[in-house]
Amino acid sequence: MTKKMPIVTKPESEHELESRVLALAGQTLSQLADKIHWPIPENLKHDKGWVGQLLEVHLGASAGNLSEPDFQNIGIELKTIPLTAKHKAKETTYVCAVPLLNNIGLSWEDCCVYHKLSRVLWLPVEAEATIPLGKRRIGRGFIWSPSTEEMDLLKTDWEEFMELISLGQVETITAHLGEYLQIRPKAANASVVTTGIGLNGMRKQTLPRGFYLRTSFTNHILESFFKN
């Protein structure tokens, strides 16, 4: 998919972004794609980021592939939530790369998970395989910040992970670990390497990994917002 010039200006306030989000609710992906003349892929197999990028354009996200929030001027990160037929999160949510080096003494408040999740626009999108991509509908998005309880849950997992990593135990970490946060590979393929800490404190080449939110956590966020 080729990048196009922005057709929507960046939102100048949370309120403006919220208005745009509400206007998207109920629209189909083909409606949005047609407006900006984007072809609709048969499926997402070779276009895994297509839905997210489509919505970025329509909401005026501006950060591109910079390490900045999608809406940098108002400090908001956009995350789509693919939904099952039962309106549960279908996939985990990627947060950020796991720091495998120079992480001694890194505090929760200085880590990428804390910063990425401090202010998030969650945008649910139908994602059942039985619905053709173009017919999938956008849901009611909302802007969120973690509660102190949610923060504590994530912090607990994060600290457990970072202790293992700083001790050179990154290879022992599997996606089974962590209550609400998990660590999984984040790379083009399993042969990609980055530098991390080995068992003896020496540097060691290892697979790049990312922090992901479990679906149980995003489902909790959805339920919290949509109850009432």
Partner DNA sequence: TGGTGATCATAC
Partner DNA sequence: GTATGATCACCA
Positions touching DNA (CB under 7 A) are: 1-3, 43-49, 51-53, 55-56, 63-67, 70, 77-80, 82, 84, 90-92, 94, 96-97, 125, 127, 129, 174-176, 182, 184-195, 207-208, 210, 214-216
How near is the Cβ of 59 to DNA at its closest, in Å? 11
Give the nearer residue to DNA in terms of CB position, either 3 or 227. Answer: 3
Q: Which is nearest to 203 in space by CA: 59, 87, 102?
A: 102
Instruction: Report whether 89 contacts 219 (CB < 8 A).
Output: yes
Give the nearer residue to DNA in terms of CB position, either 104 or 148. Answer: 104
How near is the Cβ of 66 to DNA at its closest, in Å? 6
Give the nearer residue to DNA in terms of CB position, either 1 or 167. Answer: 1
How near is the Cβ of 228 to DNA at its closest, in Å? 26
How near is the Cβ of 191 to DNA at its closest, in Å? 7
Residue 100 has, within 13 A of its CA and on its CB side, a CA count of: 27
Give the nearer residue to DNA in terms of CB position, either 43 or 147. Answer: 43
Q: What is the 3-state secondary structure (H, E, C) of 159-172?
A: HHHHHHHHCCCHHH
Instruction: Report whether 118 contacts 75 (CB < 8 A).
Output: yes
Give the nearer residue to DNA in terms of CB position, either 9 or 189. Answer: 189
Residue 186 has, within 13 A of its CA and on its CB side, a CA count of: 17
Bridge partners (DSSP) listed for residue 211:
96, 183
How near is the Cβ of 205 to DNA at its closest, in Å? 9
Based on its alpha-carbon atoms, the radius of gyration of the chain, rounded to whole angstroms, reads 18
For the sheet with 93-97, list strands across it. Answer: 93-97, 209-213, 181-185
Bridge partners (DSSP) listed for residue 123:
80
How near is the Cβ of 42 to DNA at its closest, in Å? 10
Strands (E) in the chain, as ranges, are 77-83, 93-97, 120-126, 142-144, 181-185, 194-197, 203-206, 209-213
Residue 28 tokens read as 């189909």
Give the nearer residue to DNA in terms of CB position, either 168 or 208. Answer: 208
How near is the Cβ of 49 to DNA at its closest, in Å? 3
- Backbone φ, ψ for residue 34 (5° rounding): -60, -40
Give the nearer residue to DNA in terms of CB position, either 36 or 97. Answer: 97
